[in-house]
Amino acid sequence: MKLLRYGALGAEKPGLLDAAGRVRDLSGVVSDIAGDTLRPSGLNALHALDPETLPLVEGRPQADLRLGACVGGIGKFICIGLNYADHAEEAGMPIPEEPIIFNKWTSSVVGPNDDIQVPRGSVKTDWEVELGVVIGEPGSYIDEADAMNHVAGFCVINDVSERDFQLNRAGTWDKGKGCDTFGPTGPWLVTVDEIADMNAMDMWLDVDGKRMQTGSTATLIFKIPHLVSYCSQFMSLQAGDVISTGTPPGVGMGQSPQTYLHGGEIVTLGISGLGAQKSKVVPAL
């Protein structure tokens, strides 16, 4: 099942993608793709629906029908750093012994085709294709063996980052991670049952048609069940929380010479089975 949110910014409605790639309206069934809708009971109720009985929404998703972030009301946007060995190498940092946790502010969340804004004063705005894990069943101190029972599904995330803010402006990485528009999320939330092997999902990212990142979840250092369990040792996980699991090599900081976004570029990215994003880079307002 592919769940989504469509419509104008700030007024998105819940929907699902049918077998023909058309959007079906869920607003008569649930208020949003958020909270309790993402718990097992909520997803089971949506699975039981016949999409053909739901109202058809006019327009083509990601063409003449805007999609918002595929999860509404995200409570926590948790990110994992340096979770691919080859990305750690290109960043000149050691492979972590434990997952590195940082945050993106939820005000950074935008739709999968919304513009990415280069912040005022930015000199090193970068890209990162990442697999997002969406929490369904809440929990604390979750056993790794039980972790996937707490996952509602997966989505594509671009962990846009300003490296100068992140690394040179004192304090934690968060300064360079949570700027407005730095969290394109979607196009859809794909439920766990649709993914044949979460450890073999291809990932890619292009800038102006040039392939910059190519990777696979096969090379994650810390796998998804471990990340869910690990994060839950430090905070309760709630329905609708998102964990962004790290990026493969090929980011701008790792290029020779280093390459960054300044405005005017088109960034496209995707993950097998989860869809793709396409965003224009523009100066901040």
Q: What is the pLDDT of residues 85-115, one digit of tens each?
A: 878 888 888 889 999 999 999 999 999 999 9
Give the per-residue pLDDT at 87: 82
Give the per-residue pLDDT at 89: 81
Give the per-residue pLDDT at 147: 98
The order of strands in the sheet holding 2-6 is 23-25, 13-17, 2-6, 189-191, 151-158, 129-135, 242-244, 77-81, 100-103
Give the per-residue pLDDT at 94: 87
Q: Which two tokens stand for residue 128?
A: 């990162």
Single out the residue of 214, 242, 240, 217 nearest to residue 228, CA to CA. Answer: 242
Give the per-residue pLDDT at 85: 84
Give the per-residue pLDDT at 48: 98
Q: Output the CA torsion sign for 45, 155, 273, 231.
A: negative
Task: List, for the chain, all residue ranges whose pLDDT scores fall below the cut of 50.
Answer: none
| Burial class for 80, CB neighbours closer than 10 Å (0-12, 13-18, 19+) | buried
Which residue type is seen at 30? Answer: V
Give the per-residue pLDDT at 172: 87
Q: Output the CA torsion sign for 78, 61, 279, 86.
A: positive
Tell me which CATH homologous superfamily contains domain 72-283: Fumarylacetoacetase-like, C-terminal domain (3.90.850.10)
Give the per-residue pLDDT at 266: 98
Q: Which two tokens stand for residue 212?
A: 């910059």
Give the per-residue pLDDT at 252: 97
